[in-house]
Structure 1
Amino acid sequence: MDDEQNTRAALQAVLARFIQEASLPDSVAFNFIRWYAGVTGSLAQRAKAVNTAPLVGFSGCQGSGKSTLVALMAKVMREVHGVSTVVLSLDDFYLTKAARVALAQSIHPLFATRGVPGTHDLALMNETIAALRQPPPGGSVPVPAFDKALDDRPKMVHWRQVSAPVQLILLEGWCVGLSPQQKSELEAPINPMEAEQDPSRVWRGEVNRQLATEYADLFGKLDALLLLQAPSFDAVFDWRWQQEQRLSQQFQQDHPDKPDPTMTRSEVADFILHYQRLTEHGLKTLPDRADFVWELATDRSVERMWLTEVAA
């Protein structure tokens, strides 16, 4: 077989294993080949052509399927294209519960809830990225994790160890690549939660300041930005509730003797109000900032994909 046939056969084998291990429908293989394989191959070529691992952002609303897709992309990178790849999730760099409680006391009570800019440990993320590119003696880099069911960061002994240096770093998260809003856009509350709990605009003002400073510095280091574009904020709620149900099932399986700490449907509805402002801002602005955009339908299927002028 020629190189193209070998690559195709290797890809089919990797997809089959991933689908089986993750209990995903067979359609995942067809959709990956149709919509994502080409971009994955292009990123692999870019990574092989440089000495320092590119940092590629992957943005998508909560529940859009980005984490599964990025995991599959990374597997294809490693096993088909021979590119050592690590996935970093913005979610795994949340501040500890104690640190967020301190923010809630010193700045605004809403910072006790994880998720928005200002609730991540960006110093730790920058240190991790630097170590993955130029590792310490021994070549192993600890990468943090976050237990969403417990709403806290586990001790370092439970973090994963990654062999470094790597050739490609994929950074995924719901607000990766997001720009700050204009100050005038912060004036009116976007939902009842903001009206009742942030009447003086302290919380959303600080979130926006974080986006304009520390997060802008991080996102400015991205070598490329990929985007799963949701159809609406309403779809994001449906997807996030489905995600919470899966989290609940997994927790009950892992901890059968403990009470389930995951959220009810109404609690999820309240929870995502924290993200409505920036989610809707991202729906309007991220497509123009991304290099590759996949436009999703309400069932998460891809309706179309395009290369933006940023990447052209």
Structure 2
Amino acid sequence: MSENELNPTIETLISQEGLPSSYGHTVEHTILPLAHRILELRQRLGRPVLIGIHGAQGTGKSTLTLFLKEILSRHHGTATASFSVDDIYLTRAERQRLAGLVHPLFITRGVPGTHDVSLGQKVIDQLLAAKPGDKTPIPAFEKARDDRAPRDRWPVFEGPAEVILIEGWCLGAAPEPEEALARPVNTLEAEEDAHATWRSYVNECLKDSYRAFFDRLDYLVMLKAPSMECVLEWRTLQEHKLAARHANAPEEGASDEGAPSLRIMSDDEVARFIMHYQRVTEHCLREMPGRADVLIPVGADHSLAAPQFREPPGSS
């Protein structure tokens, strides 16, 4: 693959995603070395590989995944599928039922327990078992509506996948020791989960169904945010961008059972929303760098450093 062949793809993606031209440096020094490492892993194992991309909100994991997918598929002839853990959230109706059965905080998407892990497992199984010409629907979640997209709007991946990229803020997260759950980490936990029911259920999910899901990963990449404060700032910015995109769009009709058609959060609502993520995010920031196969530090300005590879691919 020559630089001349790759450059048009990179320039198109940078323009399409509204990124600064300096992102070309990120591609050269961060993304291409990672793409080459994934190809090495694929060759070494001699089978399709599952790559997990972990990063707190706003770290740029979706953008990284997009560039990796295009580079691997278009320029290395490696059929690459991708999906986000966000796309397998439970439907709003399912979260309402969970909130009634376990704890009211589960109405808010995000934490382990609010995903349809079995759906994620099924997607992986279908991608791995697919024959040429087979089509695998990839789930999609509409955050502006806070609900899963209708199945007829899911993107479709055709044929078998050689690389599957899975990205998500809690991807690869480990459960905390039980004693750590007793102390609230913020006012949301102190005031709305005084008996630790919600956070204990989250932790149990990480020990059980989520662990089985994460254990399928062949390689874990961590985009490491500098702090929880940066995560709040970045997530607030994301919501501003989401609001701007929908500001001039015609309002869609209400979804099934009268669910709201558009759900944009205020800054105060974003701050409360992030509190749901804080415990798991901070635990990941403490313990995941020591076990991730690749560590990519993220600067406060969203810049990605060169990847730090823990060990040769396939040696674990």
Query: What TM-score comes out, normalization by structure 2 length?
Result: 0.92
Task: State percent identity of aligned pairs.
Answer: 37
Q: Which residue of 2 aligns with 1:118?
A: 113
Q: How does 1:74-93 map to 2 (within 5 A)?
A: 74-93=69-88
Match of 1:223 among 213, 218, 224: 218
Q: Say which is worse superposed, 157-166 or 37-46, in terms of deviation.
A: 37-46
Q: Which residue of 1 aligns with 2:61?
A: 66
Q: Say which is worse superposed, 228-237 or 51-60, in terms of deviation.
A: 51-60
Provide the rounded CA distance (Å) in 2 between the counterparts of 1:246 and 1:224: 31
Match of 2:92 among 97, 103, 126: 97
User: What is the SS of the residue equivalent to 1:58?
Assistant: strand
The one-letter amino acid paired with 1:157 is D
Provide the rounded CA distance (Å) in 1 between the counterparts of 2:65 and 2:45: 21
Provide the rounded CA distance (Å) in 1 between the counterparts of 2:112 and 2:293: 22
User: What is the SS of the residue equivalent to 2:24?
Assistant: helix
Provide the rounded CA distance (Å) in 2 between the counterparts of 1:32 and 1:18: 11
Q: How does 1:182-201 map to 2 (within 5 A)?
A: 182-201=177-196
Aligned residues of 2:146 and 2:263 also touching (Cα < 8 A):
no
Aligned residues of 1:83 and 1:167 also touching (Cα < 8 A):
yes
Alignment partner of 1:22 is 2:24: no
Q: Which residue of 1 aligns with 2:257?
A: none
User: What is the SS of the residue equivalent to 2:183?
Assistant: coil
State the shift of 1:16 in Å.
1.1
Alignment partner of 1:169 is 2:164: yes
Deviations 1:189-233 (A, max 9, x none): 111110111111110000000001111111111100001100000
Aligned residues of 1:295 and 1:302 also touching (Cα < 8 A):
yes
Q: Which residue of 2 aligns with 1:284?
A: 286
Q: Which is bigger in relative contact order (C-alpha 8 A, separation at least 6)? A: 2
Distance 1:307 1:150, change over 3 A: same
Distance 1:129 1:257, change over 3 A: closer
Q: Say which is worse superposed, 189-198 or 13-22, in terms of deviation.
A: 13-22
Q: Which residue of 1 aligns with 2:302?
A: 300
User: What is the SS of the residue equivalent to 2:4?
Assistant: helix
User: What is the SS of the residue equivalent to 1:104?
Assistant: helix
Q: Which residue of 2 aligns with 1:128?
A: 123
Provide the rounded CA distance (Å) in 2 between the counterparts of 1:163 and 1:309: 33
State the shift of 1:24 in Å.
1.6
State the shift of 1:20 in Å.
2.0
Provide the rounded CA distance (Å) in 1 between the counterparts of 2:310 and 2:250: 45
Q: Which residue of 1 aligns with 2:27?
A: 32
Distance 1:177 1:186, change over 3 A: same
User: What is the SS of the residue equivalent to 1:272?
Assistant: helix
State the shift of 1:51 in Å.
5.1
Q: What RMSD, in angstroms, separates the aligned Cα atoms of the two structures?
A: 1.9
State the shift of 1:254 in Å.
3.5
The one-letter amino acid paired with 1:52 is R
The one-letter amino acid paired with 1:8 is E
Provide the rounded CA distance (Å) in 2 between the counterparts of 1:74 and 1:137: 19
Provide the rounded CA distance (Å) in 1 between the counterparts of 2:249 and 2:74: 29
The one-letter amino acid paired with 2:274 is I
Structure 2 unaligned regions, length at least 5: 254-260
Alignment partner of 1:212 is 2:207: yes
